[in-house]
């Protein structure tokens, strides 16, 4: 029987957290679940631990052991091999709420939504303490399939599509021809925009599914360096170019929402580039300016300038942006 849901778990040296992660997937409906654990060249005991689950639940757990290629390469492998009607991704130091997952399986079996969005919580662990932070949903938009153009993006975490929050219809995600970057950090940024190419029907469920662990010393969000800031810049730039691939008819349906997302991502590009190493920074400024003037679907640069005037409270900051544009044009 074809699985209802495939969960892809990229693993690299996380044996300390992997058992909690995989235990959270042990729901009563294991026969409707496929778990693809992709071992990304781990040098610890992650492979041995994962194999124990495959031996105990051979019809559910599939273990892929491959050379190291980064988190994105694991996602690509999992998406290629998935046989479930739906697919989602789970980092191996995070975990899912088991009861919500069980409920989700029953829902996915009967829904026609292209994407089901559930709540996620960030678990902060500093000096032995834990704090939680989550985004509540507007209950008026929950438990019903909505056309993408009817969704108010302001009501939810920005961006709308994330790996933690979304369970995608596998065929629709493949239709976008998404490919995660390999051998780089922040490779999941492409998920912010790619789904807009094919996803139209959204279902919000106001239940916490994903627990996102923050605080591991070697985590990608820790110890950011100018080189990592440059990787963030590159991944956001790759994601923002997707806007020009969205079919006109679909873009028109949710032009306001997409324009705001595009403007926000442009603002992020300026911010992250300011954190990168000085070498090549001016060229990156120029690439942003070129995108605004020649590729931006938000009425070229006009929409972004209006956005800046609206959201940057300091006239000095806006004047700095204007001076920067003059510098780029030289």
Residues above pLDDT 70, as percent of the chain: 83
Q: Is residue 221 part of a domain?
A: no
Q: Do 182 and 294 reside in the same domain of the chain?
A: no
Window from 21-25, 223-227, 261-265 with minimum mean pLDDT: 223-227
Is residue 318 a part of any domain in this protein?
Answer: yes
Tell whether 43 is covered by a domain. Answer: yes
Residues 210 and 259 in one domain: no
More confident residue, 252 or 175: 175
The whole-number average pLDDT for the span 223-244 is 88
Sorting pLDDT into bands at 50, 70 and 90, what band is 303? very low
Q: Within this chain, do residues 270 and 178 fall inside the same structural domain, yes or no?
A: no
Query: For residue 10, what are the β-bridge partners?
Result: 38
**pLDDT beyond 50 at 301:** no
The pLDDT confidence band at residue 324, using thresholds 50, 70 and 90, is low
Task: Mark whether 75 and 124 lie in a shared domain.
Answer: yes
What are residue 100's phi and psi, to 5 degrees? -65, -40
* Predicted pLDDT at 306: 45
**194 and 230 fall within a common domain:** no
Residue 103 exposed, middle or buried by CB count within 10 Å (0-12, 13-18, 19+): middle
- pLDDT in the model for residue 222: 53
48-99 pLDDT per residue, tens: 999 999 999 999 999 999 999 999 999 999 999 999 999 999 999 999 999 9
**Residue 109, pLDDT above cutoff 50:** yes
State the pLDDT at residue 312: 47
pLDDT given for residue 133 in this prediction: 62
CA distance 96 to 108: 16
Looking at the fold, whether 156 and 46 belong to one and the same domain comes out as yes
Q: Does any domain span residue 220?
A: no
Q: In the predicted model, what is the mean pLDDT of the chain?
A: 85
Last residue of a domain, one of 179, 194, 214: 214
In a domain, 35, yes or no: yes
Least confident segment among 164-178, 221-235, 279-293: 221-235
Domain count, the chain: 2
The answer to whether residue 42 sits within a structural domain is yes
Categorize the per-residue pLDDT at 319 as very low, low, confident or very high, splitting at 50, 70 and 90.
low
pLDDT of residue 179: 95
Q: What is the pLDDT of residue 148?
A: 86
Dig out the tokens for 115 from the structure: 């994407």
Same domain, 176 and 102: yes
Residues 186 and 267 placed together within one structural domain of the fold: no
Q: What is the pLDDT of residue 223?
A: 61
pTM of the model: 0.87
Domain co-membership, 147 together with 112: yes
Assess whether 204 and 235 both reside in one domain: no
Same domain, 87 and 18: yes
Q: What is the mean pLDDT of residues 161-188?
A: 93
- Report the pLDDT value the prediction gives residue 123, as an integer from 0 to 100: 83
CATH number of residue 187's parent domain: 3.90.550.10
Q: Give the tokens for residue 209.
A: 């599914």
For 66-96, give one letter per residue: b (16+ CB within 10 A) or e.
Answer: eeebbbbbbbbbbbeebebbbbbbbbbbbbb
pLDDT confidence band for 16 (50 / 70 / 90):
very high
Expressed as residue numbers, the domain containing 276 is 226-329
Query: In the numeric block, which tokens belong to residue 7?
Result: 């969960």
User: What φ, ψ does residue 113 adopt, rounded to 5°?
Assistant: -60, 145
Q: Which of 103-117, 214-228, 280-294 has the highest mean pLDDT?
A: 103-117
Q: Is residue 219 part of a domain?
A: no
State whether 190 and 255 are in the same domain: no
Domain boundary among 153, 186, 214: 214
Q: Is residue 325 scored above 80 in pLDDT?
A: no
pLDDT value at 186 more than 90: no
173-182: b (≥16 Cβ within 10 Å) or e = beebebebbe
């Amino acid at each position: 029987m074809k699985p209802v849901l495939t969960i892809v778990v990229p693993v690299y040296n996380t044996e300390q957290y992997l058992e909690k992660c995989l235990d959270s997937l042990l729901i009563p409906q294991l026969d409707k679940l496929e778990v693809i654990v992709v071992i990304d060249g781990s040098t610890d005991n992650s492979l041995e631990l994962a194999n124990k689950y495959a031996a105990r639940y051979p019809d559910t757990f599939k273990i892929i052991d491959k050379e190291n290629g980064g988190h994105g390469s694991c996602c690509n492998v999992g998406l290629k091999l998935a046989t479930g009607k739906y697919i989602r991704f789970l980092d191996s130091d995070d975990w899912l709420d088991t009861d919500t997952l069980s409920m989700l399986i029953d829902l996915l079996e009967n829904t026609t939504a292209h994407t089901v969005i559930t709540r996620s919580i960030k678990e902060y662990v500093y000096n032995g303490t834990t704090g939680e932070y989550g985004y509540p949903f507007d209950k008026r938009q929950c438990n019903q399939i909505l056309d993408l153009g009817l969704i108010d993006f302001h009501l939810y975490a920005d961006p709308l599509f994330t790996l933690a929050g979304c369970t995608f219809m596998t065929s629709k995600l493949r239709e976008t021809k998404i490919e995660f970057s390999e051998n780089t950090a922040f490779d999941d940024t492409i998920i912010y925009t790619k789904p807009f190419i094919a996803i139209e029907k959204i279902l919000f469920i106001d239940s916490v599914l994903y627990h996102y662990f923050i605080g591991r010393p070697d985590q990608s969000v820790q110890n950011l360096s100018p080189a990592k800031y440059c990787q963030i810049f590159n991944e956001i730039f790759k994601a923002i170019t997707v806007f020009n691939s969205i079919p006109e008819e679909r873009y028109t349906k949710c032009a306001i929402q997409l324009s705001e997302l595009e403007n926000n991502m442009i603002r992020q590009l300026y911010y992250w580039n300011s954190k990168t190493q000085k070498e090549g920074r001016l060229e990156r400024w120029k690439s942003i300016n070129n995108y605004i003037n020649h590729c931006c679907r938000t009425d070229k640069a006009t929409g972004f300038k209006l956005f800046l005037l609206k959201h940057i409270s300091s006239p000095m900051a806006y004047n700095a942006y204007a001076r920067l544009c003059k510098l780029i044009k030289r």
